[in-house]
Amino acid sequence: MKSIKLQDKVVVVTGASGGIGAAMAKEFASAGARVVLAARSQPVIERLANELGGPGRALTLPTDVADVSSVEGMVEQTLSAFGRIDILVNNAGIGYFAPLRQVKLDRVRHVFDVNVMGPLVAIQAVVPHMQTQGDGHIINVLTCAGRIPIPFQGIYGASKAALILLTDTLRVELAPLRIAVTGIYPGTVNTSFENNALREGDSYTLCPFESGCGSPPEVIARGVVQAARRRPRDAWFSFQGRRYVVTGMFWPGWLDARMAEVRDAVEPPPKSDRPWEDLLIPR
Ligand SMILES: NC(=O)c1ccc[n+]([C@@H]2O[C@H](COP(=O)([O-])OP(=O)(O)OC[C@H]3O[C@@H](n4cnc5c(N)ncnc54)[C@H](OP(=O)(O)O)[C@@H]3O)[C@@H](O)[C@H]2O)c1
**193 close to ligand 1 (CB < 6 Angstrom):** yes
Q: Separation of 254 CA from ligand 1 center, angstroms?
A: 31
Atom of ligand 1 nearest to the CA of 66: 31
Q: Kindly tell me the burial class for residue 143, based on how many C-beta atoms sit within 10 Å of its own C-beta (0-12, 13-18, 19 or more).
A: buried
Per-residue pLDDT reduced to its tens digit, 109-144: 999 999 999 999 999 999 999 999 999 999 999 999
Average pLDDT over the chain, rounded to an integer: 93
152 pLDDT more than 60: yes
CATH topology of domain 10-239: Rossmann fold (3.40.50)
Q: Where are the domains of the chain?
A: 10-239
pLDDT band of residue 201 (cuts 50, 70, 90) is confident
Per-residue pLDDT reduced to its tens digit, 217-242: 999 999 999 999 999 999 999 988 99
**189 close to ligand 1 (CB < 6 Angstrom):** yes
Per-residue pLDDT reduced to its tens digit, 32-68: 999 999 999 999 999 999 999 988 999 999 999 999 9
- The DSSP line for 18-39 is SHHHHHHHHHHHHTT-EEEEEE
92 φ/ψ angles, rounded to the nearest 5 degrees: -55, 135
**Taking residues 14-21, what's their average pLDDT?**
98
Cβ atoms 246, 201 nearer than 8 A = no
pLDDT for position 269: 59
64 φ/ψ angles, rounded to the nearest 5 degrees: -110, 110
Q: What is the pTM of this model?
A: 0.95
**215 close to ligand 1 (CB < 6 Angstrom):** no
Active site residue ranges: 156
283 pLDDT more than 50: no
257 pLDDT more than 60: yes
